[in-house]
Structure formats: C-alpha cells, structure tokens
Homo-oligomer: A and B are copies of this chain.
Amino acid sequence: MDDASAPADPNLGLLLYIPYRYLESGVMEALRAHGHDLPLNQARVFQRISPEGSRLAELAEAAQLPKQTVGSIIDQLEAAGYVQRSIDPQDARARLVSITPRGQQLIEISLPVLHDVEAAWRAHLGARRTLQLKEALTALREITDPFLRPKA
C-alpha cells in the first residue's frame, strides 16, 4: 500500500485501485444524472446486496465494516426507498435486506455504464487481454475475497 514510486510505477494496490475508482466514478455520475445522488458509502454497501437478499452480518463482513456502520447505512438506503428489511424465514433473529423496485433502478442505470467502460477498456487493451484480466481477477477472488473464505 505504501510505495515510494508513486507516479512512476505505482504498486499493485494502486494499480488495482485506480481503475476501480474510475469505474465507480462513472457509475456514481450516471446515477446522479438520473436523480439518484446517494453517497459513496451507501453505494458501496448497496452493490454487495445479493438479489436474493443479504443479511447485515454478511454485508458487514464483505465490506469489512462493523455491523453498526452497515446498519446505519442500510437505514439510509431504506429511508431512500432502495432496499427493504424483512425477517429472514430461516432465522427469526436475522433480517434480510433486499432490493426494492426503486433500488433496481440503480442497477439498471449502472449496468450500461459498466458495459461501456468495459468496452472502452477492451478498445484500449484488446479483447484478449481484457478477457485475461477478468479471468485473472476472478481467480484472484478465490484467495482474496473475505466473504468467500467463511472460516479460513
């Protein structure tokens, strides 16, 4: 994370972060253009919500944030009408956070941006290298996603 050679040859961390941020900015801007100006922290949690609904603790673990933080972010997403809480049929202690129709709009606005950016990257890198990039990242997820490694 801390490398002396900042602009010259950034470390792997920045190398990953820079395109990530680019993508994120693009999506946030599109959302804003469509009248959804949710803050970044809300968007970051929102994107982790599974279509089938997610539990708070799941989201917290995936986002590496304390439960209360995610809790208050979900409060806001709920107040804005993007998500709703319901009782998990599997476990009455838990709440299932799921995406409302209004929340779906966010996804529908984001998807084309994602595709456009990917297309731009493909134009810059070429189809083969773009594919390799996605494959490598997907493979990397197996060893780096905290959510995927339940008990390590």
Show the binding face of A for B, using Cβ within 8 Å: 1-7, 9-25, 27-28, 31, 43-44, 46-51, 54, 64, 99, 104, 106-107, 109-111, 114, 117-118, 120-121, 124-125, 129-130, 132-148
Contacts and interface: CB of A to CB of B under 8 A. Distances in A.
Contacts of A138: 9, 15
B51 A6 contact: yes
A19 B16 contact: yes
Given A11-B47, A12-B114, A142-B124, A106 B18 contact: no
Given A3-B110, A4-B107, A54-B6, A15 B47 contact: no
Nearest to A103: B2
Query: Per DSSP, are chain A's interface residues mostly helix, strand or loop, or mixed?
Result: helix
A7 B134 contact: no
Contacts of A47: 1-3, 6, 11, 13-14
Contact of A43 (B1, B16, B147): B1
A147 to B, nearest CB: 7
B118 A140 contact: no
A12 B6 CA distance: 24
A121 B106 contact: no
